[in-house]
């Protein structure tokens, strides 16, 4: 079991977008450069976020990506689902329906093993769904300190973001 590293990239990218004034965005190259990531691959993950409706994409000059809804309405689970998919990671193959006792398993009822894994995944999902991007962005901003926030602001302005005063 392993989680695509793109999930981390996408989560950080969303946290950055959440730190901008509402409605403002950044293009894929800027979001990639902020964390020194491969631009082409970062772009691909942003496309996935776009397709999932987490961010809106604007094409053409001065285009880019912005959060499609308030950061308090975007969870880490949304992001993982957008990048890695939301199908359960445990896929029952119903092997209990094979072999000498094949006919003696109750129909319609999933086997206890499948149930247990489904419950565990639900617990995982619920916990991730409880973490909002707005919380993440606030914690990150707090950790950076005032000087860090100023550096971020300057960087964003150099990429076309205008902070209202």
Binding footprint of DNA on the chain (CB under 7 A)? 1-2, 4-6, 27-29, 38-41, 43-44, 46-47, 50-51, 57-65, 84
Of positions 119, 157, 160, 162, contacts a second copy by CB under 8 A = 119
Per partner kind, with CB cut-offs from 5 to 8 A, the member of DNA, a second copy, none near residue 92 is: a second copy
Residue carrying the six token digits 């960087």: 155
Does 157 bind a second copy (CB under 8 A)? Our answer is: no
**DSSP annotation string for the chain:** ----HHHHHHHHHHHHHHTSPTT--B-HHHHHHHTT--HHHHHHHHHHHHHTTSEEEE-STT-EEEESS-GGG-BHHHHHHHHH-SS-S-----GGGSSTTGGGSPSSSPPHHHHHHHHHHHHHHHHHHT-BHHHHHHHHHHHHHHHHHHHHHHHHHTTT-----
Task: Please state the closest distance from residue 143 (CB atom) to a second copy, in A.
Answer: 5
Task: Please state the closest distance from residue 156 (CB atom) to DNA, in A.
Answer: 14
Task: Please state the closest distance from residue 40 (CB atom) to a second copy, in A.
Answer: 16
Q: C-alpha distances in angstroms, 82 versus 54, 107, 139, 155, 161? A: 8, 33, 23, 28, 26
Of positions 23, 62, 100, 164, contacts a second copy by CB under 8 A = 100
**Of residues 122-141, those binding a second copy (CB under 8 A):** 123-128, 131, 135-136, 139-140
Sites of contact with a second copy (CB under 8 A)? 1-5, 7-9, 11-12, 15, 33-37, 76, 80, 84-85, 89-93, 95-96, 98-101, 103-106, 109, 111-113, 116-117, 119-121, 123-128, 131, 135-136, 139-140, 143-145, 147-148, 151-152, 155
């Amino acid at each position: 079991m392993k989680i695509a590293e793109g999930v981390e990239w996408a989560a950080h990218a969303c946290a950055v977008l959440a730190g901008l004034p509402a409605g403002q965005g950044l293009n894929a190259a800027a979001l990639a450069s902020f964390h020194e990531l491969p631009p082409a691959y970062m772009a691909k993950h942003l496309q996935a976020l776009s397709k999932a409706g987490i961010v809106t994409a604007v094409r053409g000059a001065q285009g880019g990506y912005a959060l499609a809804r308030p950061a308090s309405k975007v969870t880490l689970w949304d992001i993982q689902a957008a990048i890695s998919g939301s199908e359960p990671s445990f896929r029952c193959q119903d092997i209990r329906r094979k072999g000498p006792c094949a006919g003696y398993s109750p129909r319609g009822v999933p086997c206890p093993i499948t149930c247990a894994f489904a419950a565990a995944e639900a617990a995982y999902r619920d916990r991730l769904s409880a973490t909002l991007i707005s919380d993440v962005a606030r914690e990150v901003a707090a950790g950076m300190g005032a000087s860090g926030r100023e550096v971020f602001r300057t960087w964003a302005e150099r990429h076309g973001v205008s902070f209202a005063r």
